[in-house]
A = this chain, B = another copy of it.
């Protein structure tokens, strides 16, 4: 029986800055919300605050746009410096541009502008994605366990758009400590017929649920706790076997443009 889920926003007690320690910010913010972790809570952290404390930030003035960046910037209606940062962050792996977005591939998947973001970054600065979200998730999990003696699943979450739909949903850049994909292939449906393609993107679903309470503009809510999810704890070794990304050829949105069926 699935229990009720609770999604609890934890506002930051201060604006997060480059020199800050994320666990200290979290502890103080929990205190201000009069909250404590319970075992098997899931903590969702906005990737942006991870990037800020890890100083994954570049300033416009340090950037010299290439000819390629100038051309892409024109197609995407953005500043050439921003396009250059996107090219650098994606190692040049992009499919093209629409207004406001260059569509890129990197280790975090297929995403707008390689995750580089001008919002909430201050003038003349761009916040990039954290260098290694998996490592950051592992660190925060371990430090919470050491200090608070609670086993907490971690999600580092970002926003994404979905094909042909208006607006953003959540996405898990990395997880730590729990099974993030629920593979139901082999399970039976209501009529006892085996399910063939059902794999549930648990971590993306939880990241999205957290995004509902975290907001995106000036709410200053970089954390959310999800309580009541029947999380399956996994060890590091098991975690390493999981891959939440599929290849472009397998992807129903991109695959058809790569492997055109015979006409």
Residues of B contacting A251 in the complex (Cβ-Cβ under 8 angstroms): 98, 163-164
Shortest beta-carbon distance from A42 to chain B in Å: 11
Closest B residue by C-beta to A103: B252
A112 touches B252 (CB 8 A): yes
Counting chain B CB atoms within 10 Å of each CB, the highest count among A6, A100, A256 belongs to A256
B246 touches A217 (CB 8 A): no
Residues of B contacting A122 in the complex (Cβ-Cβ under 8 angstroms): 191
Stretch at the interface among A145-153, A165-173, A233-241: A165-173
Stretch at the interface among A23-31, A55-63, A134-142, A195-203: A195-203
B212 touches A206 (CB 8 A): yes
With contact pairs A212-B5, A229-B212 given, residues A110 and B75 touching in the complex (Cβ less than 8 Å) = no
A110 touches B205 (CB 8 A): no
A218–B166 Cα distance when bound, in Å, is: 32
Determine if A91 is an interface residue (Cβ-Cβ < 8 Å): no
- Within 205-233 of A, Cβ neighbours of B (below 8 Å) are at 205-206, 208-209, 211-213, 215-221, 229
With contact pairs A164-B245, A169-B169 given, residues A217 and B204 touching in the complex (Cβ less than 8 Å) = no
A216–B72 Cα distance when bound, in Å, is: 42
B255 touches A98 (CB 8 A): yes
Residues of B contacting A165 in the complex (Cβ-Cβ under 8 angstroms): 109, 171, 201, 204, 244-246
A198–B257 Cα distance when bound, in Å, is: 28
A212–B182 Cα distance when bound, in Å, is: 11
Shortest beta-carbon distance from A244 to chain B in Å: 5
Determine if A101 is an interface residue (Cβ-Cβ < 8 Å): yes
A98–B243 Cα distance when bound, in Å, is: 19
Determine if A19 is an interface residue (Cβ-Cβ < 8 Å): no
A201 touches B95 (CB 8 A): no
Selected contact of A169 from candidates B8, B198, B205, CB within 8 Å: B205
B9 touches A6 (CB 8 A): no
Residues of B contacting A189 in the complex (Cβ-Cβ under 8 angstroms): 119-120, 217-218
With contact pairs A6-B5, A103-B252 given, residues A208 and B110 touching in the complex (Cβ less than 8 Å) = no
| Chain A residues packing against B (C-beta within 8 Å) | 2, 4-9, 15, 71-72, 75, 95-101, 103, 105, 109-110, 112, 118-123, 160-171, 181-182, 184, 187-191, 193, 195-202, 204-206, 208-209, 211-213, 215-221, 229, 243-257, 259-262
